[in-house]
Amino acid sequence: MKGTCRCFRHFTCLTLCLGAIALIGFFQRNVKLSTLRPVSKPCQPTTNVMFLKTHKTASSTVLNILFRFSEKHNLTVALPYHLHFHLGYPVHFRATFVEEFRTIGRHFNIMCNHLRFNLPEVRRVMPRDTFYFSILRDPPSLLESSYAYYKTYSPAFQKTKTLSEFLASPWTYYNTGKKAWNFYARNFMWFDLGYDNNAEYDDFYVQSVIQDIEQNFQLLLIAEYFDESMILLKNMLCWDLDDVVYFKLNTRSLDSVQTLNPEYKEKAKDWCALDWKLYTHFNNTFWIKIQERMDLKTLYKEVELLQKRQKELMEVCLLEETAVDGSKIIDNKLKPFQLGLVKILGYNLKQDLDNKTQTICQKMIMPELQYTAYLYSHQFPNKTRKPIDFPTP
């Protein structure tokens, strides 16, 4: 009898142990499952955004995207004081360059007009949770575009007939002592980011600047991958596809483009070594950021949707299939400002659009100066407006 009871007790203990093990396993499995299936919360669109508008990098197209987004969400844009074209450029930015800064303070949502970056002063204007981003372009292509736009303004370019002639012997034409407007001719992006474009190349210095930029900006877009850039931007800001759909703005006619052969492309990289290092570094990190968020199949599926939507809007809005010479634009209010010797292209709208469609289409093709003036008049209706301050180098 005692043996039977002992066996029974052993059996009971064994059963209890097995039950406890099963329960532990059950809870462990459920904990693992719950960690593998986090509760997904719909993200909210980011509305505090600072875009450093670098020159000749498709940044006018990005500015148009941001202006349209600001209207969609009724946001406040940090516009240039007295309707100037830019925020104090080329001197380093100061908060007082923003219209009504002393009244509005740190409650602006969008900043995107040209400025030379100065983080402490920007932080006086923008909220603490602001998303900072900018855009970079392959330096040889950027230098070629800069040469075409600013040849008549930059002393370094004025005495040459072609960019190749300049690159064959740049120090013959470039004088660091005569700095006025020579930043157009060397390390242009480095200058826009607030640094010395004439600094000697030094690995430690360059890496320290790159680290600063990585701390200050959450994202650097790449102009050569503009559609991919828009998808990544949309993803990071939790925006809709229509928020980043665009028509190319401030483009120039192809007859002004100079093609550099491989030898002169290498010379351009050497001449703009600071920009070249900047570009190659952030071109790499751009693709790393994409891989952190989506695979390439997903990326290009979204790019395809973006391009499809762009094509749909072009068919709805535009009279011609492509951008046209400024002299052929019917509506004077939609003519882009013509700078230097190049021809800046623009668009004509179809004439039979309903009011809502016309407004949408018109905003998508509105040049930078006109859109800035439009937003200024709506944000500050009681201000005595000065004439548009057309950019002078």
In 3D space, the residue among 53, 36, 100, 7 whose CA is nearest the CA of residue 381 turns out to be: 100
* pLDDT of 254: 86
> How many other β-carbons are positioned within 10 Å of the β-carbon of residue 358?
15
Rounded to whole angstroms, the maximal C-alpha distance in the chain is 116
Q: Is residue 28 part of a domain?
A: no
Distance CA 256, CA 254 (A): 5
Q: Is residue 74 part of a domain?
A: yes
Confidence grade of residue 283 (pLDDT, cut at 50, 70, 90) = very high
Distance CA 163, CA 169 (A): 10
Tens of pLDDT, residues 3-41: 444 444 444 444 444 444 444 444 344 433 333 444 456
Mean pLDDT of 109-138: 98
* pLDDT of 339: 75
* pLDDT of 181: 84
Among residues of the chain, what percentage have pLDDT more than 90?
Answer: 78
* pLDDT of 243: 98
Confidence grade of residue 2 (pLDDT, cut at 50, 70, 90) = very low
Among residues of the chain, what percentage have pLDDT more than 70?
Answer: 87
Tens of pLDDT, residues 316-362: 999 998 999 988 999 989 999 887 778 999 999 999 999 999 999 99
Residue 255 has pLDDT above 90, yes or no: no
What tokens were used for 193? 């980011």
Q: Is residue 328 part of a domain?
A: no
Residue 387 has pLDDT above 60, yes or no: no
Residue 80 has pLDDT above 70, yes or no: yes
Q: Are residues 372 and 281 in contact, defined by beta-carbon separation less than 8 angstroms?
A: no
Q: Is residue 386 part of a domain?
A: no
What tokens were used for 40? 């997904």
Tens of pLDDT, residues 95-106: 999 999 999 999
Helix pair 59-72, 368-379: axis angle to 10 deg:
30
Tens of pLDDT, residues 142-200: 999 999 999 998 999 999 999 999 999 999 999 877 667 899 999 999 999 999 999 99
* pLDDT of 116: 98
Mean pLDDT of 382-391: 58
Q: Is residue 148 part of a domain?
A: yes
Mean pLDDT of 122-133: 98
Q: Are residues 218 and 131 in contact, defined by beta-carbon separation less than 8 angstroms?
A: yes
Q: Is residue 132 part of a domain?
A: yes
* pLDDT of 41: 61
Q: Are residues 373 and 73 in contact, defined by beta-carbon separation less than 8 angstroms?
A: no
Pairing relationship of beta strands 345-346 and 324-325 according to DSSP bridges? antiparallel
Distance CA 215, CA 368 (A): 29
Q: Work out how many domains the chain is built from and give that number.
A: 1
Mean pLDDT of the chain: 89
User: Which range marks the domain in which residue 69 is found?
Assistant: 49-239+255-298+368-379
Q: Is residue 26 part of a domain?
A: no
What tokens were used for 113? 């007009």
Higher pLDDT pick, 215 / 34: 215
Tens of pLDDT, residues 106-115: 999 999 999 9
Residue 92 has pLDDT above 50, yes or no: yes
Q: Is residue 4 part of a domain?
A: no
Q: Domain containing 134 — which CATH number?
A: 3.40.50.300
pTM for this one? 0.87
